[in-house]
Amino acid sequence: MALERTFVMVKPDGVERRLVGEIIGRFERRGLRLVGMRLLQPDRALAERHYATHKGKPFYEPLVDFIISGPVVAMCWEGTQAVSLVRKMMGALKPEEALPGTIRGDFTTEVRTNLVHGSDAVETAQAEIALWLGNDLLP
Protein backbone atom coordinates (compact mmCIF):
# COMPACT_ATOMS: atom_id res chain seq x y z
CA MET A 1 0.00 0.00 0.00
CA ALA A 2 1.75 3.11 -1.26
CA LEU A 3 1.97 6.42 0.56
CA GLU A 4 0.70 8.96 -1.95
CA ARG A 5 0.14 12.69 -2.26
CA THR A 6 -2.85 14.05 -4.15
CA PHE A 7 -4.10 17.46 -5.20
CA VAL A 8 -7.49 18.62 -3.93
CA MET A 9 -9.24 21.89 -4.68
CA VAL A 10 -12.31 23.34 -3.01
CA LYS A 11 -13.93 25.09 -5.96
CA PRO A 12 -15.43 28.62 -5.78
CA ASP A 13 -18.86 27.27 -4.85
CA GLY A 14 -17.37 25.50 -1.82
CA VAL A 15 -15.73 28.69 -0.54
CA GLU A 16 -18.89 30.73 -1.25
CA ARG A 17 -21.06 28.17 0.56
CA ARG A 18 -18.70 28.13 3.60
CA LEU A 19 -17.98 24.42 3.14
CA VAL A 20 -14.17 24.61 3.30
CA GLY A 21 -14.07 23.46 6.93
CA GLU A 22 -16.56 20.67 6.28
CA ILE A 23 -14.48 19.35 3.38
CA ILE A 24 -11.12 19.64 5.16
CA GLY A 25 -12.66 18.03 8.26
CA ARG A 26 -13.75 14.97 6.31
CA PHE A 27 -10.25 14.33 4.99
CA GLU A 28 -8.70 14.93 8.42
CA ARG A 29 -11.15 12.62 10.20
CA ARG A 30 -10.43 9.92 7.65
CA GLY A 31 -6.76 10.15 8.60
CA LEU A 32 -5.25 11.94 5.65
CA ARG A 33 -2.54 14.50 6.38
CA LEU A 34 -2.68 18.05 5.07
CA VAL A 35 0.78 18.91 3.73
CA GLY A 36 0.12 22.07 1.68
CA MET A 37 -2.65 24.64 1.27
CA ARG A 38 -3.20 27.93 -0.55
CA LEU A 39 -6.24 30.21 -0.91
CA LEU A 40 -6.15 32.00 -4.26
CA GLN A 41 -8.28 33.25 -7.10
CA PRO A 42 -6.82 31.47 -10.13
CA ASP A 43 -6.32 33.41 -13.34
CA ARG A 44 -7.56 32.09 -16.67
CA ALA A 45 -4.14 30.76 -17.71
CA LEU A 46 -3.87 28.61 -14.57
CA ALA A 47 -7.41 27.29 -14.93
CA GLU A 48 -6.82 26.47 -18.59
CA ARG A 49 -3.64 24.54 -17.78
CA HIS A 50 -5.40 22.66 -14.99
CA TYR A 51 -8.28 21.63 -17.25
CA ALA A 52 -6.23 21.27 -20.48
CA THR A 53 -7.40 17.67 -20.99
CA HIS A 54 -10.99 18.94 -21.31
CA LYS A 55 -10.22 21.63 -23.93
CA GLY A 56 -12.68 21.42 -26.82
CA LYS A 57 -15.43 19.70 -24.81
CA PRO A 58 -18.77 21.54 -24.60
CA PHE A 59 -18.42 22.14 -20.86
CA TYR A 60 -14.82 23.44 -21.02
CA GLU A 61 -15.42 27.21 -21.43
CA PRO A 62 -18.13 27.49 -18.74
CA LEU A 63 -15.97 25.31 -16.47
CA VAL A 64 -12.97 27.64 -16.78
CA ASP A 65 -15.25 30.67 -16.22
CA PHE A 66 -16.60 28.99 -13.09
CA ILE A 67 -13.18 28.08 -11.66
CA ILE A 68 -11.90 31.66 -11.96
CA SER A 69 -15.13 33.20 -10.61
CA GLY A 70 -13.88 33.40 -7.01
CA PRO A 71 -11.27 32.14 -4.58
CA VAL A 72 -10.49 28.44 -4.36
CA VAL A 73 -8.57 26.43 -1.77
CA ALA A 74 -5.75 24.43 -3.36
CA MET A 75 -4.43 21.64 -1.14
CA CYS A 76 -2.06 18.71 -1.06
CA TRP A 77 -3.14 15.71 1.04
CA GLU A 78 -0.98 12.72 1.94
CA GLY A 79 -1.96 9.20 2.93
CA THR A 80 -2.01 5.56 1.95
CA GLN A 81 -3.54 5.39 -1.54
CA ALA A 82 -4.59 9.01 -1.08
CA VAL A 83 -5.42 9.52 -4.78
CA SER A 84 -8.18 6.93 -5.00
CA LEU A 85 -9.32 7.49 -1.41
CA VAL A 86 -9.99 11.17 -2.05
CA ARG A 87 -11.85 10.34 -5.28
CA LYS A 88 -14.11 7.93 -3.37
CA MET A 89 -14.77 10.51 -0.67
CA MET A 90 -15.60 13.16 -3.31
CA GLY A 91 -18.27 11.03 -4.99
CA ALA A 92 -19.18 10.54 -8.62
CA LEU A 93 -19.38 13.30 -11.24
CA LYS A 94 -22.99 12.66 -12.19
CA PRO A 95 -25.17 13.99 -9.37
CA GLU A 96 -27.53 11.01 -9.56
CA GLU A 97 -24.52 8.69 -9.10
CA ALA A 98 -22.89 10.60 -6.23
CA LEU A 99 -23.77 8.51 -3.20
CA PRO A 100 -24.89 9.92 0.14
CA GLY A 101 -21.88 10.00 2.46
CA THR A 102 -19.67 11.50 -0.23
CA ILE A 103 -18.97 15.23 -0.48
CA ARG A 104 -20.81 15.62 -3.77
CA GLY A 105 -23.55 13.22 -2.68
CA ASP A 106 -24.21 15.15 0.51
CA PHE A 107 -24.01 18.74 -0.76
CA THR A 108 -24.52 19.05 -4.52
CA THR A 109 -27.10 18.50 -7.23
CA GLU A 110 -25.28 20.01 -10.23
CA VAL A 111 -22.57 18.57 -12.47
CA ARG A 112 -20.50 21.77 -12.78
CA THR A 113 -20.80 23.30 -9.34
CA ASN A 114 -19.69 20.17 -7.52
CA LEU A 115 -17.55 21.71 -4.74
CA VAL A 116 -14.38 19.72 -5.11
CA HIS A 117 -11.65 18.57 -7.46
CA GLY A 118 -9.34 15.63 -6.77
CA SER A 119 -6.56 14.23 -8.96
CA ASP A 120 -7.60 11.14 -10.90
CA ALA A 121 -4.21 9.34 -10.93
CA VAL A 122 -0.79 9.49 -9.28
CA GLU A 123 0.80 11.09 -12.38
CA THR A 124 -1.99 13.66 -12.63
CA ALA A 125 -1.55 14.42 -8.94
CA GLN A 126 2.14 15.18 -9.42
CA ALA A 127 1.43 17.56 -12.30
CA GLU A 128 -1.39 19.30 -10.42
CA ILE A 129 0.58 19.62 -7.16
CA ALA A 130 3.45 21.19 -9.10
CA LEU A 131 1.10 23.49 -11.03
CA TRP A 132 -0.81 24.85 -8.03
CA LEU A 133 1.55 24.47 -5.08
CA GLY A 134 5.07 24.12 -6.44
CA ASN A 135 7.68 21.40 -6.77
CA ASP A 136 8.59 21.41 -3.06
CA LEU A 137 5.44 19.40 -2.27
CA LEU A 138 6.13 16.62 -4.76
CA PRO A 139 6.56 13.26 -3.02
Q: List residues binding ligand UDP (CB under 6 A).
A: 59, 63, 93, 111-112, 114, 117, 120
Please, which residue, 30 or 112, has the CB nearer to ligand UDP? 112
Please, which residue, 78 or 120, has the CB nearer to Mg ion? 120
Please, which residue, 20 or 63, has the CB nearer to ligand UDP? 63
Binding stretches for Mg ion (CB under 5 A): 120
- For residues 125 and 8, the answer to whether their CB atoms sit within 8 Å is no
Beta strand 3-10 with 72-80: parallel, antiparallel or unpaired? Answer: antiparallel
* Least distance from ligand UDP to the Cβ atom of residue 99, Å: 14
> What is the CB neighbour count within 10 angstroms for residue 125?
24
* Least distance from ligand UDP to the Cβ atom of residue 101, Å: 16
- For residues 76 and 6, the answer to whether their CB atoms sit within 8 Å is yes
Partner touching 138 among Mg ion, ligand UDP, none, CB below 5 to 8 Å by kind: none
Partner touching 104 among Mg ion, ligand UDP, none, CB below 5 to 8 Å by kind: none
Compute the distance between CA of residue 35 and CA of residue 97 in angstroms, rounded to an integer.
Answer: 30
- Element of type H or E holding 37: strand 33-40
Q: Which of 24, 117, 119, 126 is catalytic?
A: 117
User: Does the CA dihedral 99-102-104-109 come out positive or negative?
Assistant: positive
Active site residue 117: yes
Partner touching 122 among ligand UDP, Mg ion, none, CB below 5 to 8 Å by kind: none
Compute the distance between CA of residue 46 and CA of residue 52 in angstroms, rounded to an integer.
Answer: 10
Active site residues: 117
